Amino acid sequence: MRRLLIGIALGFMALFVVVPLATVFASAFRDGISAYVHALGDSEARSAIKLTLLVAAIAVPCNVVFGLAAAWAITRFQFPGKRVLVTVIDLPFAVSPVIAGMLFVLLFGARGWFPGSHIVFAVPGIVMVTTFVTVPFVARELIPALEARGPAQELAALTLGASPWQTFWRVTLPNVKLSLVYGAILCTARAVGEFGAVSVVSGHIRGETNTVPLHVEILYNDFHYQAAFAVATVLVWIALATLVIEQALRWRMRRRR
Amino acid sequence: MQVEIEALSKAFGEYPALDAVTLTIPEGELVALLGPSGSGKTTLLRAIAGIEVPEAGRVKFGGIDVTEVPIQRRQIGFVFQDYALFEHMNVGDNIAFGLSVRRAPREEIAARVRELLALIQLDGLAGRMPRELSGGQRQRVALARALAPRPRLLLLDEPFGALDARVRRELRRWLRRLHDELHITSVFVTHDQDEAFAVADRVAVMNQGRVEQVGTPADVRGQPATAFVREFLDVQE
């Protein structure tokens, strides 16, 4: 039984994660390291990487702040519209990313409600649509963590004379730090990897509104297979970097105890 | 500091948790709120602390109306039933919390923490995390944390509820001695009459959101004022 379970877990991981990942790297380095470096040094590739990092650098903090506020409000207060808020947080998971992109085109496009706003087919639209599709991650991690702890420690802090802000920074936040970091990592992964929604609002202007996933597709469709895989490895590096940051934070927290 | 509760009412939905409760906690006394579960004793304690907001009635501290004063400005110490220690802080930081949020000087905080660790007989355990402590130790840390900022009033919710019988008796005696030393006005909630009578100067027996009788342990035991009090005391004996 034990062997079977471990076998299934390892076999599945190997087949669906390790093999494809290895293929990406094998194809990226197929023509040697210099070809790999050359593909990443290309000006369009560099601008795609920059745009992707910029988008993540805006979308992730926005969702960390929103996720904290929403999760705290939902788990600690009663207010009208609370159940609607809980449902709306999940909406971006329920809606197809392509539809999400089209929503923004409908709102801000040439025939939309705010025509001439230079949002769609430009960087602001990409940031907005990425923020939209990554809304649930942080809040979804924090709500169960805050619920499990309950308000007792926060009430204790208040009886000891702490202001609500002091209570938040010194009691609430440290208690859910790991959940917050995990939510932010999932959020980052999705923000840098999002294809469908971004594809709809981007307009595919090379060197201007192409993110890494969009650029990979363009290269692939142009039969630049090696370059496509080389740029794709950037997403793997970003994912690895966030995981390293997570582990470092965990390590620091454990050491402080 | 004397605490006056005047016609305090609070309902949870249809269910009245407090029904026009009036009660005076005299300065420097240790008062027990005794009653079965659902009698409103914990709600009353939390209303005194400001955790529950009453629908009607007033709470006065030393003659001053504090009904609208938020929890953090009431200068109280509250010991929660499950202690609610800050799990991410060590014992010393837990005890120091009430002083450090007031931005007290570092040396003053350190001295006060040492003093309290000695008082609760846990010297040398300042660096432990709460989860490394026994139930009785956690209890005492919670008490030291509540006492650290020198509150005007100490409130304890079933302070011995989660402990085994032996530790319980020990802590009971210890709390009584502590009160005789500090003379801080204190209120504790219990469903155990032995506990109430053994520790408190005065016992308020509660039932269905009302105070049935208030008096010294001898008074209440000797002359139960209502049928409920007589029955409640009999049932347990």
Q: How high is the ipTM of this complex?
A: 0.91
- What's the gap in Å between the CA of A63 and the closest CA on chain B? 25
What SS3 class is residue B10? strand
Mean pLDDT of B67-85: 94
Mean pLDDT of B197-203: 93
Name B103's Cβ contacts closer than 8 Å, sequence gap at least 6. none
Distance CA A95, CA B161 (A): 49
Q: What is the pLDDT of residue A257?
A: 53
- What's the gap in Å between the CA of A228 and the closest CA on chain B? 46
Q: Is A126 on the interface with B (CB under 8 A)?
A: no
The answer to whether the Cβ–Cβ distance between B97 and A175 falls below 8 Å is no
The residue of chain B nearest to residue A171, with distances taken between CA atoms, is B86
The residue of chain A nearest to residue B151, with distances taken between CA atoms, is A160
Residues facing residue B111 across a β-bridge: none
> For residue B226, which of B210, B236, B213 has the smallest C-alpha distance?
B213
Residue given tokens 């009607």 in the structure block: B56
What SS3 class is residue B202? strand
The answer to whether the Cβ–Cβ distance between A159 and B70 falls below 8 Å is no
List chain A residues with CB under 8 Å of B13.
none
Q: Mind giving me the DSSP string for B144-187?
A: HHHHTT--SEEEEESTTTTS-HHHHHHHHHHHHHHHHHH---EE
The two tokens of residue B165 are: 């019988």
Interface test with B, best of A149, A154, A158, A159 (most B CBs within 10 A): A159
- Strand duo B15-25 + B3-12: pairing: antiparallel
Q: Is A178 on the interface with B (CB under 8 A)?
A: no
Interface test with B, best of A149, A160, A171 (most B CBs within 10 A): A160
Is residue A52 within 8 Å of residue A212, measured between CB atoms?
A: yes
> For residue A226, which of A14, A52, A33 has the smallest C-alpha distance?
A33
Is residue B178 within 8 Å of residue B147, measured between CB atoms?
A: no
> For residue B185, which of B4, B1, B59 has the smallest C-alpha distance?
B1
Residues facing residue B190 across a β-bridge: B34
Q: What is the pLDDT of residue A256?
A: 61
The residue of chain A nearest to residue B75, with distances taken between CA atoms, is A161
Mean pLDDT estimate for chain B:
91
Expressed in percent and rounded to 5, the helix, strand and coil fractions of chain A are: 80, 0, 20
Is residue B122 within 8 Å of residue B91, measured between CB atoms?
A: yes
Burial state string for B72-104 with b = 16 or more CB within 10 A and e = fewer than 16:
bebbbbbbbbebbbbebbbbbbbbbbbbbbeeb
Between A118 and A142, the more confident residue is A142
Residue B121 pLDDT level (bands cut at 50, 70, 90): confident
List chain B residues with CB under 8 Å of A164.
72
The answer to whether the Cβ–Cβ distance between B146 and A160 falls below 8 Å is yes
DSSP-derived secondary structure letter, B18: E
Q: Is A27 on the interface with B (CB under 8 A)?
A: no
The two tokens of residue A117 are: 């706003």
> For residue B142, which of B72, B73, B74, B91 has the smallest C-alpha distance?
B91
Q: Mind giving me the DSSP string for A78-102?
A: --TTHHHHHHHHHHHHHS-HHHHHH
Closest CB to B78: pick one of A153, A159, A170: A159
Is residue B89 within 8 Å of residue A162, measured between CB atoms?
A: no
Which CATH code for domain A32-256?
1.10.3720.10
Residue A253 clears pLDDT 80, i.e. is over it: no
List chain B residues with CB under 8 Å of A161.
72-73, 75, 98, 101-102, 149
Question: What is the tens place of the pLDDT at every residue in A86-136?
Answer: 999 999 988 899 999 988 888 887 777 777 677 878 888 999 999 999 999
List chain B residues with CB under 8 Å of A155.
51, 71, 78, 80, 84
Mean pLDDT of B197-225: 92
> Please, what sign has the CA dihedral across residues B29, B35, B37, B38?
negative
> For residue A147, which of A169, A183, A184, A179 has the smallest C-alpha distance?
A179
pTM of the model: 0.85
Q: How far is CA B56 from CA A18, A187, B11, B22, B53, in A?
A: 65, 47, 10, 12, 9
> Please, what sign has the CA dihedral across residues B160, B164, B169, B171?
negative
Distance CA B160, CA B41 (A): 15
Mean pLDDT of A43-55: 92
Residues facing residue B213 across a β-bridge: B205
Is residue B9 within 8 Å of residue B55, measured between CB atoms?
A: yes
Longest dimension (CA), chain B: 56
Q: Which helix (H) or strand (E) holds A165?
A: helix A164-167
Q: Which helix (H) or strand (E) holds A185?
A: helix A177-193
The packing angle between helices A82-94 and A135-149, to 10°, is: 140
The answer to whether the Cβ–Cβ distance between B80 and A175 falls below 8 Å is no
- What's the gap in Å between the CA of B97 and the closest CA on chain A? 7
Residue B128 clears pLDDT 80, i.e. is over it: yes
CA B120, B70, A79: angle at the middle one, nearest 5?
120
Question: What is the tens place of the pLDDT at every residue in B134-187?
Answer: 988 999 999 999 999 999 999 999 988 777 888 888 888 888 988 998 899 999
Residue B236 clears pLDDT 60, i.e. is over it: no
> For residue A142, which of A87, A82, A78, A70 has the smallest C-alpha distance?
A70
Mean pLDDT of A190-200: 91
The answer to whether the Cβ–Cβ distance between A158 and B71 falls below 8 Å is yes
Residue B124 pLDDT level (bands cut at 50, 70, 90): confident
Interface test with A, best of B71, B80, B95 (most A CBs within 10 A): B71
The residue of chain A nearest to residue B131, with distances taken between CA atoms, is A257
Mean pLDDT of A134-148: 94
